[in-house]
Amino acid sequence: MIVLCTGCRSGFGLLIAVHAAKAGHTVYAGLRDLSTKGDLVEAARGLDVRPVQLDVTDAAQRAAVVEAIVSEHGRIDALVNNAGVALGGFQEQVAEDELRHLFDVNVFAPWALTKLCLPHLRAQREGVVINITSMSGRQAMPGLGAYAGSKFALEGFSEALRHEMRPFGVRVVLVEPGPFETDIMGRNRTIAADAETTGGPYAVYMRRMEGLLDKMKDRMGDPREVADLVVRLLDDPSPRLRYPLGPGVSARLWARRVLPFEAVERILERVVGF
């Protein structure tokens, strides 16, 4: 299988590329900056993992990568839209340029890359698009509204696309991780510029949210679980639409399913301390 995966410098993307190659697939591993391929190359030593320059927000790079894959192999079998960014901050604090960048990476880029791949997948009448979203695409938390909004949007696109691609034999799947130990929760954790100030009406709440995130570090899941799931889904002929996974996810989904929103809201108030 010929697989294109985005955001492969570290975390889920690096692991997906390596695990998929171990399963016998040829993987084109997209990197926003090709000079950062060191960890990927080391982890993929001896495997058919091919690092490619792919800033997902760059239309020319998106087109070039898909064209190169199809030119070399005559097909593309799987697209894993993994690249993404997070943004913390209460919505009054988020600047327009920050929100636009967030949606550029998390929504418009996977939409555009998927659109480039669909003609080839349809012509083959087989293949799979796997979008890595988040539990934030199912439940919006305070201080993460902008990020949740982008993931809700990707979930909506994906659900509709699944219906649209069914007649053509193309599978569309959502993988929805909860808290996992990746750079998006560590080195790459991003906070709105206005939320970095020490004062203001949200300062105390931001400190509480940061404290909760720090406490979660010891309870985060192993990102290899996500990579293993994605690799299984590459070959699954009839996958479900949604695959939530991670610590605490089952309880959150159960609460949303059986409790009225007001009850969930009260639980969240107690947990977060608002």
Average pLDDT over residues 96-106: 97
> Residue 195: which pLDDT band, with cuts at 50, 70 and 90?
confident
**Closest Cα partner for 82 from 193, 6, 183?**
6
pLDDT, tens digit, 9 for 90 and up, residues 110-153: 999 999 999 999 999 999 999 999 999 998 988 899 999 999 99
pLDDT, tens digit, 9 for 90 and up, residues 13-53: 999 999 999 999 999 999 999 999 999 999 999 999 999 99
Residue 195 burial by CB count (10 A; 0-12/13-18/19+): exposed, middle or buried? Answer: buried
Average pLDDT over residues 58-81: 98
Average pLDDT over residues 70-83: 98
> Residue 274: which pLDDT band, with cuts at 50, 70 and 90?
low
Report which of residues 266 and 47 the model is more confident about.
Answer: 47
> Residue 186: which pLDDT band, with cuts at 50, 70 and 90?
low
What pLDDT sits at residue 240? 98
What pLDDT sits at residue 273? 67
Neighbours of 156 (CB within 10 A): 12
Q: Which two tokens stand for residue 115?
A: 């659109």
Average pLDDT over residues 244-262: 86
- DSSP result, 25-93: -EEEEEESSGGG-HHHHHHTTTS-EEEEE--TT-HHHHHHHHHHHHHHHS---EEEE------BS-GGG
C-alpha–C-alpha distance, residues 11 and 222, integer Å: 10
Helical packing angle, 249-258 and 261-272, nearest 10°? 140
Percent of the chain at pLDDT > 90 equals 72
Average pLDDT over residues 103-111: 98
- Assess whether pLDDT exceeds 70 at residue 164: yes
Q: Which CATH number fits domain 2-272: 3.30.565.10, 3.30.390.50, 3.40.50.720, 3.40.50.970?
A: 3.40.50.720
Amino acid letter for position 62: R
Extents of the domains making up the chain? 2-272
What pLDDT sits at residue 184? 54
What pLDDT sits at residue 191? 87
- Catalytically active residues are 147
pTM of the shown model: 0.93
**Closest Cα partner for 83 from 105, 116, 58?**
105
> Residue 253: which pLDDT band, with cuts at 50, 70 and 90?
confident
Cα angle 45-48-54, degrees, rounded to a multiple of 5:
95
Q: What are the distances in angstroms from CA 24 to CA 17, 18, 36, 228?
A: 11, 10, 24, 13
What pLDDT sits at residue 227? 97
What pLDDT sits at residue 84? 96
70-74, 141-145, 179-183: least confidently modelled range: 179-183
